[in-house]
């Protein structure tokens, strides 16, 4: 369930085995060059966005990810 204070995006851990998922993502990138990694990431993001199926949640995730690039600050 989403946290109403932060919107529809779930921000609490929702994976039973997060380390295994992390390692699977890292392993999926093995032996890919930079261009292939970017293409892989884009494809994975689109598949997961389609699975989520909620433009508001996806927009909130995009904003949160972008914000994280600045260490959480809103300055860009």
Pairwise CA distance, residues 31 & 51, whole Å:
27
pTM summary value: 0.77
Number of domains in the chain: 1
Q: According to the model, what pLDDT value does residue 7 have?
A: 82
Q: Give the range of the structural domain holding residue 2, as residue numbers without chain letter.
A: 1-76
**What was the pLDDT predicted at 6?**
60
The single residue listed with the structure tokens 């993502």 is 25
Structure confidence at residue 1 (pLDDT): 47
pLDDT in tens, the chain (76 residues): 455 456 899 999 999 999 999 999 999 999 999 999 999 999 999 999 999 999 999 999 999 999 999 876 654 4
Using DSSP, state whether 53 is helix, strand or coil.
Answer: coil
Q: Specify the pLDDT at position 73.
A: 60
61 C-beta neighbours (distance < 10 Å), count: 20
Measure the CA–CA gap between 66 and 58, rounded to whole angstroms. Answer: 12
Q: Report the C-alpha gap between 52 and 8 in whole angstroms.
A: 11
User: What pLDDT is attached to residue 76?
Assistant: 43
């Amino acid at each position: 369930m989403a946290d109403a204070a932060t919107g529809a995006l779930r921000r609490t851990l929702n994976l039973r085995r997060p380390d295994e998922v992390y390692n699977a993502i890292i392993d999926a990138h093995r032996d890919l060059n930079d261009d292939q990694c970017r293409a892989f990431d884009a494809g994975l993001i689109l598949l997961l966005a389609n699975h989520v199926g909620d433009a508001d949640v996806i927009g909130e995730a995009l904003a949160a990810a972008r914000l994280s690039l600045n260490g959480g600050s809103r300055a860009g």
